[in-house]
Structure 1
Amino acid sequence: MRVMVGIDESDESFHALRWTLDKLFDGMSTRTAPPEEANQEEAANLLTLLHVQKAFHNYGIPVGAGASAFYVPYSIEESIKVKSLILEGDPKEKICQVIEQMQVDLLVVGSRKLGKIKRALLGSVSDYCAHNANCPVLIVKPPQEASK
């Protein structure tokens, strides 16, 4: 299965990545299969982390702020191939382009829980992808607050 997770600096996108690792790829390294089947399954499993940033104008060099690191647990790396991509452009359009180019089976994105008005004014990457991507899109909502 080829799964792509859209990542930005938000907590919601990291929650979507954690959800994907826990729910879709957890336990893959403990599966037992004949060696020839295991190699085919390993080759078919691809997790792509995609970060799309707005085009940067060369007026200065960013230092420190906004830097993010993505860590994938070692047990996951043993059983699936992990690829990281950082691209420039409009996130909505780039995500849909990469999905088509890489023949992704599932896109996972986080939800910022924008209301209808904010979504209409600001635009929602998850909403755009849900309507325009040529693969299923799973929108992971952030966890409920424990204080409610």
Structure 2
Amino acid sequence: MEETSSAGAVVQEQQAILINKNEKIKKLKVMVAIDDSDGSFYALKWAVDHLFVAIGTVAPETSLEEVGMVVLVHVKQPFQHFTVPAGPGGAIFYPPTSVVESVRKAQEESSAMLLSRALQLCKDKMVKAETLVLDGDPKDMICHAAEQMHADLLVVGSRGLGMIKRAFLGSVSDYCAHHAKCPVLIVRPPKESST
């Protein structure tokens, strides 16, 4: 119980730093990385609840739109053109253009659904949000986008990979923590209680 109250005090203290009664509130630009994992949506919800709504309670005369905005970034990994040896002599088979286009269309539809869900979450909390869809390696593109957009804070979710999986697969959140040019907040989902 004490841990929660101390965490709340830290958040309020950090928000008080942003707010000086003699000055205007600095508009906070928070970039949140969104993918199809529950962890990324939990991170978005946490950011909206703690970084924007709580500021409104510290400075009630300020609307949430004046406080800042969220930039939702989603990175699509490019479709890999695999060549498959087929037939006698190892002739190479390339996927037909229709297959490639079908995969691209499915990726775009998936991205649109994810960002629509994320935008709705922001809208429900009355937080201004923009979207950004990029193609490439998520690790590099998220860090690059945060730098280009001059984000004040980058928020990423944690999937909770173990040490071995993280070593082999790599971790987007770990990479961003070491390479982003702005502060990075890694939000871990709460541990599920076993009943």
The TM-score range, normalised by the shorter chain, is: 0.7 to 0.9
The equivalent residue for 1:9 is 36
Relative to structure 1, the CA distance from residue 120 to residue 24 in structure 2 (aligned partners, 3 Å threshold; closer, same or farther) is: same
| 2:114 is equivalent to residue 91 of structure 1 | no
The answer (yes or no) to whether the contact 1:28–1:76 under 8 Å persists in 2 is no
The separation in 1 between residues aligned to 2:108 and 2:73, in whole angstroms, is 20
The separation in 1 between residues aligned to 2:109 and 2:130, in whole angstroms, is 24
User: What is the identity, as a one-letter code, of the residue corresponding to 1:14?
Assistant: F
Shift of 1:147: 1.7
The answer (yes or no) to whether the contact 1:109–1:138 under 8 Å persists in 2 is yes
The separation in 2 between residues aligned to 1:12 and 1:62, in whole angstroms, is 22
Range moving further from structure 2, 3-12 or 60-69: 60-69
User: What is the identity, as a one-letter code, of the residue corresponding to 2:68?
Assistant: N
The equivalent residue for 2:61 is 32
The separation in 2 between residues aligned to 1:88 and 1:63, in whole angstroms, is 10
Give the count of matched residue pairs: 140
Shift of 1:86: 1.2
| 2:177 is equivalent to residue 130 of structure 1 | yes
The answer (yes or no) to whether the contact 1:52–1:87 under 8 Å persists in 2 is yes
Question: Residue 82 of structure 1 is aligned with which of 124, 129, 135?
Answer: 129
Unaligned runs of 5+ in 1: none
Relative to structure 1, the CA distance from residue 81 to residue 90 in structure 2 (aligned partners, 3 Å threshold; closer, same or farther) is: same
- 1:94-133, aligned counterparts within 5 Å? 94-133=141-180
Aligned residues with identical type, % of pairs: 50
The separation in 1 between residues aligned to 2:107 and 2:146, in whole angstroms, is 31
The separation in 1 between residues aligned to 2:76 and 2:47, in whole angstroms, is 22
The separation in 2 between residues aligned to 1:20 and 1:108, in whole angstroms, is 7
Cα RMSD (Å): 2.6
The answer (yes or no) to whether the contact 1:106–1:136 under 8 Å persists in 2 is yes
Shift of 1:74: 3.8
Unaligned runs of 5+ in 2: 1-27, 81-99
Shift of 1:65: 7.8
The equivalent residue for 2:16 is none
Per chain length, whose mean CA-contact separation is higher, i.e. which structure has more relative contact order (CA < 8 Å, sep 6+)? Answer: 1
Whichever structure has more helix as a proportion of its residues is 2
The separation in 2 between residues aligned to 1:75 and 1:114, in whole angstroms, is 31
Q: TM-score scaled to structure 2, two decimals?
A: 0.63
The equivalent residue for 2:8 is none
The equivalent residue for 2:84 is none
The answer (yes or no) to whether the contact 2:160–2:188 under 8 Å persists in 1 is yes
Relative to structure 1, the CA distance from residue 22 to residue 63 in structure 2 (aligned partners, 3 Å threshold; closer, same or farther) is: closer
The separation in 2 between residues aligned to 1:63 and 1:75, in whole angstroms, is 26
User: What is the identity, as a one-letter code, of the residue corresponding to 1:50?
Assistant: V
